[in-house]
Structure 1
Amino acid sequence: MDQFRSIESFLTTVECGSIAAAARKMGVTAAAVSQSLRRLENELNVLLLTRTTRRISLTEAGATYYERIKPLVAGLEAAAEEISEREGEATGRLRIAASVAYGRHRIAAIVGRFASMHPKLSVELILADRSVDHVSEDIDISIRFGLLLEPGLIAQKVSTEPMFLCAAPSYLERRGWPSIPDDLGHHDCLTFRFPVDGRQLRWSFNVDGVRVTPVLKSFVMANDIDALVEMAIAGVGITRLGRFIIGDHLDRGRLVPLFTGTHGPRIDPEPFDFYACYLDRRSKSPKVRLFIDYLKQSLRD
């Protein structure tokens, strides 16, 4: 058991880039990781890592050992998960990442129910409006929408979320209703900026089968969806949000949907497609398959 723990410490240190990061990920002290690494090197009678105050790096022997041992450990994990699946149970650790808004409003409850169904599975949900790294952060699944897909990840579509252009009644009384997307250039728009790269999220619409992306007047820009919700409710301007975020506000009349045909023609805001993304080496992982299947079914309900 100690040898397996030492191997885990070695692999995690290499993938995280430092002993301190590996310790945080494993939930132990840096001293414990260092001790495990020394024990492994003593057992093998070879230096695997060179350590400085700033970084660690693989020695030639360490690189060879890493390349040989990594697939063996992955195979052991996959075998354990496959046996557990045959017995009707998921075991091990499952780390799921999602954007803050989608994770909070759509994913969190699903993750909680899934964890309750599989008590032997350790589940962690990471919410972050940035690009997570599946390798260095040991992420099994990341939930992303189309604009944030990355090469090297397998993406499986799990839902299409309708979007609404909306504003508070107080704003519409003060500024009037836009009739077509081009009218938005004369309104105060509340837009979203991607925290990852600083891009402004454009608003696209389907007008008689034609995709239209108007020029906006960005009155306030924010990198947090819930902040845009609060500003819209306060009557600051018009924003575009998912039904999963503002459904209750629409039902209660705090926000009013635009382009519904009541004031001008019906114009459909382009929906968002969300995907479950995972690495190829995890594509056959039972716990990943179980969660994605459950996620897709839950998002359809």
Structure 2
Amino acid sequence: MNLLQLIRSFVCTVEAGSIAGGARSLGISAAAVSQNIARLEAELGVRLLNRSPRSLALTERGARYFEQVREIDRQLERAHQAATVDDEAPSGRLRIASSGAFARHVLAPMLPSLRARHPRLELELRVEDGFADHARDGLDASLRIQEQLEDTVVARCIAVIPFVLCAAPDYMARHGSPSNPEQLAAHDCVLFRQPADGRHLRWGFVRDGQRIVPELKPALVSNDIDAIAAMTAAGAGISRLAAFVAEPYLAQGTLVALTGQERVAQFDAEPEPMRIHMCLSDRRDLTPKLQSFLQHLHSCLPAAWRQPLADGNGGGAA
């Protein structure tokens, strides 16, 4: 009997909230997960879960057992990496979560070259614009903006990316250009609604060392940055886009910049940049395979965006 496999089935089921969810996480059938949990209960001689067709709940003993075994997988992974780091190339599953825009525009293009460099890695990119749950989703790490940080994760800023205030030339011709953040209240603005809490993402600016968060007039709102960019290019109003989203539109001339080096008019403040954080559940989760990912991401970013790694090999990044 593979006791570790039985424990994994139990832990993944509890973290997912259902046998079906645990099965998806493990890549096996729901029937196999159910059988594994039954075998574990038989081995222990106690009931761990109260199960019905519509609900699943830990028993009192099950809750105590779960607290003791929930970290077994991670501890084994750390032990394996500690024993083999000098002998083996990075290998195994690496599951990363990221916000949608950063995943599509930055991570997705660079992952194939990481896989080519380390062919024994099994990479999975989860696109999460809400709060990523490391335990529930079996994540090795998540990449989050400042507004998504929680006290339950260990975070380190790895990139600082400029925001660009943008509008279509047609919109500029019809409405003119604001010259300061306060004038944005009189312009149509295309805003991002945060999936996690449903609020509009505020626009912060810095002028003469002072932070300004102006009132904005929502003209169009979306929970997808690429949709916001497309609507802005179609003349909907002014939007604030990360540089990696704005640059193709600026190069094509379908958008013009109101801030930054490519600005077409005077604007007396600069948008606060986007800060990308590498988030872990525990500092010890920075395994060699995750260090390889971090090093590769760092090398693929424009030099002006990179934040220093803590040492030469990516260690201590969180």
Deviation of the 1:298 alpha carbon: 2.4
Deviation of the 1:295 alpha carbon: 2.2
Q: TM-score, normalised by structure 1?
A: 0.92
Q: Aligned equivalents of 1:90 and 1:142: distance in 2? A: 19
Aligned partner letter, 1:270 = E
Gaps of 5+ in 1: none
Partner of 2:294: 292
Deviations 1:188-246 (A, max 9, x none): 11111111111111112122222222211111111111111111111111111011011
CA RMSD of aligned residues (A): 2.0
Q: TM-score, normalised by structure 2?
A: 0.87
Partner of 2:226: 226
Gaps of 5+ in 2: 304-318
Q: Aligned equivalents of 1:207 and 1:179: distance in 2? A: 12
8 Å contact from structure 2 (residues 258, 267) kept in 1: no
Partner of 1:29: 29
Q: Aligned equivalents of 2:151 and 2:144: distance in 1? A: 13
Give the direction of change, closer, same or farther, for the CA distance of 1:284–1:265 in structure 2 (3 Å limit): closer
8 Å contact from structure 2 (residues 163, 242) kept in 1: yes
Give the direction of change, closer, same or farther, for the CA distance of 1:166–1:26 in structure 2 (3 Å limit): same
How many residue pairs end up in the alignment?
301
Partner of 1:237: 237
Partner of 2:276: 274
Deviation of the 1:139 alpha carbon: 1.4
Q: Secondary structure at the match of 1:247?
A: helix
Q: Aligned equivalents of 1:294 and 1:196: distance in 2? A: 29
Aligned partner letter, 1:49 = L
Aligned partner letter, 1:283 = D
Aligned partner letter, 2:14 = V
Partner of 1:258: 258
Q: Secondary structure at the match of 1:124?
A: strand
Aligned partner letter, 2:211 = R
Deviations 1:67-122 (A, max 9, x none): 44344443222122233422241222211101111110111122332233222222
Deviation of the 1:56 alpha carbon: 2.5
Aligned partner letter, 1:191 = L
Deviations 1:127-183 (A, max 9, x none): 021111111111111111111111110111110010111111111111111122222
Deviation of the 1:60 alpha carbon: 4.2
- Paired-residue identity, %: 42
Q: Aligned equivalents of 1:259 and 1:29: distance in 2? A: 53
Superposed counterparts of 1:118-197, under 5 Å? 118-197=118-197
Partner of 1:44: 44
Give the direction of change, closer, same or farther, for the CA distance of 1:71–1:102 in structure 2 (3 Å limit): closer
Give the direction of change, closer, same or farther, for the CA distance of 1:191–1:72 in structure 2 (3 Å limit): closer
Q: Secondary structure at the match of 2:122?
A: strand
Give the direction of change, closer, same or farther, for the CA distance of 1:256–1:29 in structure 2 (3 Å limit): same
Partner of 1:62: 62
Q: Aligned equivalents of 2:57 and 2:267: distance in 1? A: 62
